[in-house]
């Protein structure tokens, strides 16, 4: 059977083109995803690469996600350590690395768009730790002077506004560097970033020897050299890599699902086209086992070659994808893709396994058909559904509908996954039941075109209705494409709308002020907004490790704070009073010593224990600001007024945008919104691009397999133009069938999502589908289908009609 399978692949390679393309693309996506994930390891921060020895502050207890945070040294402890380390033999300079939020305002708008994890502001002394040289001017020496990156667009001598946590202030540009960053005088930097987590050493001699001597005086600090300097990467970058990994895992999961679905449907379609051939094999004595082995050998041959091509494509595309992730802010600057042999082998073997699994059910069905029945089915499909297909399709459809109903009662954190699983089950279920659904659907869709008894409409309707398995097979990629694209786009739009409804219901605010080209809102922006602007920060407890805190001015409705014990009366005004959630096990009246963001230790008193809160600890906003000068508010709420009047107060230089919660309901975190949009369009691109090619290849195979039918039409008097028009109409009908089924799947899942969101928020949420984007996806499918169909018809018509009909 191996020789026969090889001969079949050589002679009928076009019949396996769809399976080959689908598998190669799927393996390519999985290969690239695996390489990106395995390459996303901690790295030496590029900004610190000029320092061969780093001294790091002590680690706090690991948080729930396993990320390590480091407790900052206070200003006094930093001065003490810098002096001690500077006296170590071989140390040329000991430089505290001060990092804080700073952003230049040029032409009335903040420039640079710094990532929240890389706030750009540094003291000038830190310039010695980075690889960017001063290319013009001089270093900043006094308050009010700044050195910018040359891409900021401000020349030496210009006066610019520099945004910090407090707000904008005028600075004179004294120099430019060949790289990013905003460098202020060290005295200014010490006020903006009093807490220090890293001290870089410039050395004159072997780094290992200097490190050993530095360890003796570093006290509670940890000395890092060589590759160990990767541990100096900020905890926030570890979170960023984790977010990037989640997106990559989602893309990889989608690629695997789509691969199995498309490869299985394509191979089933190929087997359906070959009924006569398989029937002849059975008629001349081939056993069911031999037929199964033949189909398995064909799938193995395609899998071996397609997987190799896919691995090569994925390996070539991975570096480009890595650069795109860096530009999108999903991986840290300096991220590079490293070839991992284990990942390449896993992707290759996975592709082969997918090919064999995809053909398994098809081979079993083909082997069970009797020779005479198979020859009869080669002409007319008398039994498009088997009992196993009824069972599987029915179970998946019922299960999908059950998940749709269940999503209406799901917990908020499980809502999206439940809706996604519902869509997957419905897609598989409808694909299995498609031969049953296609007939009635075709009659409904083609009814308007058969009223005039036109020949083209009648032929299209009859061909699609009689060959339901062929129609179902060619519509399957469209079902998947439209279903997933509508689902993903609807997810994002509906959940964004739900956020606005939830915020309005929760806070009572009609307007929200969000960051615009900045990572957060300064105090100046919060004052201009005129409403509450909770200020986030982090404190460190000896037993709990890093604990998130929120600073507030006074309790208001949006805080949703309900005391189970104690009183909230002084919360926000008492500089040492805090409210805590119950699971911290801090009793009312108890005192706790905390290390704040600047390294200072303060003793706080628990005023109240609350049922729930935005963060485990709530304290005075003034206290948070005093100890964290660079903290930025993610959002400000406007309780009275309109978006227009609020925007007029904000102006254009604060990096703030007022939005009406009833009209523009984006999330409070602009960076999170940006990542969500990237995530959505990556998934849409994967689903649409991948299955789009499958649509084209499947239709090419379908028309090539009907060369004899087209020849008979020519012999019956149809012109070549009429035949091409017929094929184009059939292709459009296939897209229409797949679109209707895909929309049915997506809208069912989205209805469950909407019901669940409404229940969790306690207010009605609108189901929003971006129909323009969905129409664009359907238009792409239609263009691919008609283009592939007419191209294959053109190629088939190049053969004389008499020869093709033989």
What is the tens place of the pLDDT at every residue in 65-77? 556 788 999 999 9
Of 214, 238, 262, the last residue of a domain is: 238
Which pLDDT does position 92 carry in this prediction?
93
As separate numbers, helices (DSSP H) first and strands (DSSP E) second, the chain gives 22, 23
Our CA dihedral for 702, 708, 712, 718, rounded to 10 degrees, sits at: 40
Instruction: Classify residue 622 as exposed, middle or buried by CB count within 10 Å of its CB (0-12, 13-18, 19+).
Output: middle
Three-state DSSP state, 63: coil
Nearest in space to 653 (alpha carbons), one of 534, 510, 522: 522
Residue ranges making up the domain that contains 299: 1-41+251-369
- In a shared domain, residues 26 and 51: no
Question: Burial, 484: exposed, middle or buried (Cβ in 10 Å; 0-12, 13-18, 19+)?
Answer: buried
Looking at the structure, tell me whether residues 662 and 684 fall in a common domain. Answer: no
pLDDT tens across 413-452, in order? Answer: 677 778 878 888 888 888 778 777 777 777 777 776 655 4
Select from 369, 399, 424 the last residue of a domain. 369
- In a domain? residue 487: yes
Cβ proximity of 675 and 329 under 8 Å: yes
Query: What mean pLDDT value characterizes the chain?
Result: 80
Instruction: Clarify whether residues 56 and 126 are in a common domain.
Output: yes
Residues 662 and 532 grouped into a single domain: yes
Tell me which residue of 514, 455, 467 sits closest to 734, measured CA to CA: 467
- Model-level pTM greater than 0.85? no
pLDDT tens digits, 5-50? 565 555 555 556 667 877 888 888 889 888 888 887 777 887 888 8
Q: Which run of H or of E encompasses 640?
A: none
In the predicted model, is pLDDT for residue 356 greater than 70? yes
Residues present in the chain in total: 806
570: in domain: yes
Cβ burial, residue 562 (10 Å; 0-12/13-18/19+): exposed
Together in a domain, 467 and 592: no
Number of domains in the chain: 4
Which one of 668, 696, 713 terminates a domain?
668
Q: Are residues 534 and 464 in the same domain?
A: no
Cα separation, 624 vs 672, in Å, equals 23
- Residue 244 inside a domain? The answer is no
* pLDDT one-digit tens code per residue, 669-678: 455 555 556 6
Q: What is the mean pLDDT of residues 290-312?
A: 84
Answer yes or no: do 714 and 679 share one domain: yes
| Phi and psi torsions of 521, nearest 5° | -95, 130
């Amino acid at each position: 059977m191996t020789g026969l399978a090889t001969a079949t692949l050589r002679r009928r390679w076009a019949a396996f083109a769809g399976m080959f393309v689908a598998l190669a693309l799927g393996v390519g996506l999985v290969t690239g995803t695996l390489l990106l994930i395995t390459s996303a390891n901690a790295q030496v921060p590029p900004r610190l690469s000029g320092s061969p020895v780093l001294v790091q502050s002590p680690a706090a207890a690991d948080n729930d996600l396993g990320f390590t945070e480091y407790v900052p040294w206070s200003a006094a402890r930093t001065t003490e350590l810098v002096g001690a380390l500077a006296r170590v033999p071989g140390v040329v300079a000991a430089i505290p690395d001060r990092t804080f939020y700073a952003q230049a305002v040029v032409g009335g708008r903040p420039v640079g768009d710094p990532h929240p994890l890389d706030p750009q502001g540094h003291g000038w002394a830190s310039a010695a730790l980075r690889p960017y040289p001063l290319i013009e001017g001089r270093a900043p020496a006094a308050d009010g002077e700044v050195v910018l990156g040359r891409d900021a667009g401000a020349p030496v001598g210009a006066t610019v506004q520099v945004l910090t946590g407090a707000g904008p202030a005028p600075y004179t540009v004294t120099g430019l560097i060949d790289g990013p960053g905003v460098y202020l005088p060290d005295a200014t930097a010490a006020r903006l970033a009093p807490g220090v987590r890293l001290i870089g050493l410039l050395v004159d001699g072997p780094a290992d020897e200097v490190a050993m001597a530095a360890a003796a005086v570093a006290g509670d600090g940890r000395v890092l050299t060589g590759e160990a300097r990767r541990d100096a990467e900020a905890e926030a970058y570890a979170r960023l890599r984790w977010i990037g990994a989640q997106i990559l895992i989602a893309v990889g999961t989608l690629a695997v699902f789509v691969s199995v679905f498309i490869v299985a449907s394509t191979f089933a379609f190929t087997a359906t086209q070959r009924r006569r051939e398989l029937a002849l094999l059975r008629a001349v004595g081939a056993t069911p086992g031999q037929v199964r082995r033949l189909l398995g050998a064909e799938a193995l041959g395609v899998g071996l070659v397609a997987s190799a091509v896919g691995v090569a494509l994925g390996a070539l595309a991975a570096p480009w994808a890595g650069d795109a992730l860096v530009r999108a802010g999903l991986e840290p600057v300096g991220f590079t893709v490293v070839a991992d042999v284990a990942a390449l082998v896993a992707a290759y073997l996975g592709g082969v396994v997918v090919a064999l699994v995809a053909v398994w059910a098809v081979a079993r069905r083909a082997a069970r058909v009797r020779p005479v029945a198979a020859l009869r089915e080669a002409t007319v499909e008398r039994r498009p559904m088997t009992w196993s297909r009824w069972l599987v399709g029915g179970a998946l459809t019922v299960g999908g509908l059950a998940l749709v109903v269940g999503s209406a009662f799901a917990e908020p954190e499980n809502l999206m996954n439940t809706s996604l699983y519902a869509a997957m089950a419905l897609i598989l279920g409808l694909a299995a039941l498609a031969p049953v659904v296609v007939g009635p659907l075709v009659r409904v869709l083609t009814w308007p075109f058969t009223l005039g008894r036109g020949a083209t409409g009648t032929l299209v309707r009859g061909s699609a209705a009689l060959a339901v398995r062929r129609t179902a097979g060619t519509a399957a990629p469209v079902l998947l494409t439209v279903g997933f694209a509508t689902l993903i786009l609807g997810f994002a739009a509906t959940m964004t709308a739900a956020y606005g409804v939830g915020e309005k219901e929760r806070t009572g605010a009609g307007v929200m002020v969000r960051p615009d080209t900045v990572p957060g809102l300064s105090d100046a922006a919060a004052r201009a907004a005129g409403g509450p602007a909770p200020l986030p920060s982090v404190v460190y407890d000896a037993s709990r490790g890093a604990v998130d805190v929120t600073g507030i001015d006074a309790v208001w409705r949006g805080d949703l704070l309900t005391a189970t014990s104690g009183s909230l009366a002084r919360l926000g005004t008492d500089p040492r009073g805090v409210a805590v959630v119950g699971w911290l096990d801090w009793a009312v009246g108890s005192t706790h010593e905390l290390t704040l963001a600047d390294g200072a230790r303060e003793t706080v008193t628990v005023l109240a224990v609350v049922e729930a809160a935005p963060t485990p600890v709530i304290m005075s906003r003034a206290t948070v600001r005093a100890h964290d000068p660079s903290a930025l508010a993610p959002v400000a709420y406007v309780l009275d007024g309109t978006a227009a009047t609020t925007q007029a107060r904000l102006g254009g230089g604060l990096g703030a945008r007022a939005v009406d919660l009833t009209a523009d309901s984006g999330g409070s975190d602009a960076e999170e919104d940006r990542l969500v949009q990237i995530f959505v369009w990556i998934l849409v691109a994967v689903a649409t691009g991948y299955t789009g090619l499958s649509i084209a290849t499947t239709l090419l195979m379908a028309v090539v397999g009907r060369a004899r039918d087209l020849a008979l039409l020519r012999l019956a008097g149809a012109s070549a133009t009429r035949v091409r028009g017929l094929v184009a109409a059939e292709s459009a009908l296939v897209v229409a069938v797949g679109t209707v089924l895909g929309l049915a799947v997506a809208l069912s899942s989205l209805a469950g999502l909407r019901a669940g969101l409404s229940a969790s928020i306690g207010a009605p949420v609108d189901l929003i589908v971006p129909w323009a984007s969905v129409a664009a996806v359907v238009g792409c499918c239609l263009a691919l289908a008609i283009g592939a169909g007419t191209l294959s018809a053109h190629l088939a018509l190049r053969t004389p009609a008499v020869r093709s009909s033989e």
